[in-house]
A = this chain, B = another copy of it.
Amino acid sequence: MVVVLTLSREAAITVADLGEFGLIAAIQEILPPDTTAIVGVGDDAAVLPAPDGRTVASTDLLIEGRHFRRVWSTGRDIGVKAAAQNLADIAAMGAVPTALLFGLAVPADTAVTWVLELTEGLVAECDRAGAVIAGGDVTGADTVMLGITALGNLGGREPVTRRGARPGDVLAISGMVGRSAAGLAILQAGVDPASAPGLADLVAAHRRPRPDYQAGPLAAAAGATAMIDISDGLVADVGHVGAASGVRVDIEAARLPIPGLREAAALLGADWRDWALGGGEDHALAASFPAGASLPTGWLVIGTIGRGNGVLVDNRPWHGRGGWDHFPAC
């Protein structure tokens, strides 16, 4: 096994050189010892503790050229991002992420080093969330594709769905919005991130989102009535909460935490509100709380819940960039 790993760290070694089972062995070699799984990586299925008698589960696909580009992100960046977006879905239910399963499709000429870096990114983000990698699948494909499933533990709490927001609640977020979209815009414009203060942080936010996984369970414990992971864009995602709960959502733009966004937008000739209100992939959490509830550390009120439907920004419908549709009309 050590021989495989040593060989596989040479940049010239491709996935085809190792073969499927060699690649799996090389990946398993760098996974940290899993002390929580009852049956871990390497069998037909993993067996994991579900101590409160329930399992929280979410799955996502990431496709090269649509969700990431290898020229803009390292293998490690892509691993971090893939793990983060799924683990954040678990936190958004009020659960603690516990395990991750990943399917990886790569072209045969992919460098094994790249696959191992991606795995290291998955491992690092799981580690940050307190989760383990419990299983996976590798296969060939013409482009890189990832299928990620995250599991979590509610620890006896009731799940916080999208359906419980009530008129009179406040709307709050944990984390920042628009940073990933700003970082992507900087990369797309070919602007040197070192050319102005703050740009590098925005590019890093695009490459490696940093959800606060504890914010979800803390919000649940504090009485959050509804919660969602902001993956498609703030307006689009709180719109999902509004639709599921049968309420109107009012956002006050001036309350949004957007450090560095106005400056970067001015530099690029862009509108910071497009990023903050329409940009996805920051994986901040949005939640509604009863008015007067004591919000956990890190949660910031950005609006209110009212009677009606739809999303208003500063009392007006939002007509800017509207969030992400994976099948935009041609």
Contact = CB atoms under 8 A, between A and B. Distances in A.
Interface of A: 15-21, 23, 38-39, 42-51, 53-61, 63, 65-67, 89-90, 92-93, 95, 99, 101-105, 108, 134-143, 145-152, 154, 159, 161-163, 227-229, 244, 325-330
A58 B46 contact: yes
B162 A20 contact: no
Contacts of A146: 147
Nearest to A285: B44
11 contacts: A19-B327, A45-B150, A46-B57, A47-B159, A49-B53, A50-B54, A57-B57, A65-B142, A67-B139, A103-B147, A145-B147
Given A57-B101, A137-B59, A43 B147 contact: no
Given A63-B145, A139-B326, 16 more contacts: A19-B325, A19-B328, A20-B325, A20-B326, A44-B162, A45-B92, A45-B152, A48-B55, A53-B53, A61-B103, A61-B105, A61-B141, A101-B149, A108-B330, A142-B143, A145-B147
Contact of A42 (B244, B327, B330): B244
Give the copy number: 2
A229 to B, nearest CB: 5
A41 to B, nearest CB: 11
Nearest to A154: B47
B56 A46 contact: yes
Contact of A151 (B57, B89, B136): B57
B93 A45 contact: yes
B63 A139 contact: yes
A58 B38 contact: no
Given A61-B139, A61-B145, A61-B147, A47 B56 contact: yes
A67 B44 CA distance: 18
Contacts of A151: 55, 57
A273 to B, nearest CB: 22
A103 B60 contact: yes
Contacts of A108: 327, 330
Contact of A140 (B17, B103, B149, B327): B327
A56 B151 CA distance: 11
Nearest to A237: B44
Contacts of A53: 49-51, 53
A192 B309 CA distance: 58
A119 to B, nearest CB: 15
Nearest to A89: B44
A48 B58 contact: no
A149 B59 CA distance: 8
A93 B325 CA distance: 38
Contact of A38 (B48, B54, B59, B147): B54
A43 B161 contact: yes
A52 to B, nearest CB: 8
Given A93-B44, A103-B147, A108-B330, A21 B325 contact: yes
